[in-house]
Structure 1
């Protein structure tokens, strides 16, 4: 796994959670630009999943595949579910949902780095 790519994902998630956190403090609902920000994070996660698949297929790293792909799939699911929830919930709580989802993906990313041994 490429450490710079993992750090990029974590940084993007932390930035998204800070942005949504600002909306929580301001008592505002999620806006479409924040959902596009989540889509950017999701795109980087997809790139990372492809890179992980290629590196694991070449056999360069001996990692528990079930655990690794459990984290990868969970990361790929969390933000779209949160985005759908935030889109449906047009109150301040939509911003809270986005904060929690972005922080969850950031922590999953750090755990993924530990599993990979980076």
Structure 2
């Protein structure tokens, strides 16, 4: 994996989580700009998956459990779109809670990916 990209994804997720937390405190629903922010994070996740696939094909990894790594990558790719769909359908404060939990989940999954890759 490419660590600067991973740290950028974690930073972007934490910014999204902070934004969603602010909306939770203000009792507001998710707005379209937040969904665009999630789309940017999703694009970064896709780039990370492509880079990771390339590194795995080149054999430049140590003792990585490939199935575990891909499980975390695919899960990270699915969390934000599912949360965005839920937030789009749920036009209450709870949509912001869903986005907050999803952003923190992806940040945690990225942390685990770093641990798996460097094991």
What's the TM-score bracket when you normalise by the shorter of the two chains? over 0.9
Q: CA RMSD in A?
A: 0.8
Output the TM-score relative to the length of structure 2.
Answer: 0.98
1:14-69 superposed Cα distances (whole Å, 9 cap, x missing partner): 00000010000000000000000000000000000000000011001031110000
Output the TM-score relative to the length of structure 1.
Answer: 0.98
For the pair 1:92 / 2:93, whether they are aligned, the reply is yes
Distance 1:106 1:49 in 2: 15
Distance 1:60 1:43 in 2: 24
1:38-57 counterparts in 2 under 5 A? 38-57=38-57
Look up the match of 1:79: 80
Distance 2:89 2:80 in 1: 14
Look up the match of 2:112: 111
Tell me, which stretches of 5 or more residues in structure 1 are unaligned?
Answer: none
Look up the match of 1:14: 14
Count of matched residue positions in the alignment of Structure 1 and Structure 2: 118
Look up the match of 1:2: 2
List structure 1 runs of 4+ shifted beyond 4 angstroms: none
1:85-106 superposed Cα distances (whole Å, 9 cap, x missing partner): 0000000000000000000000
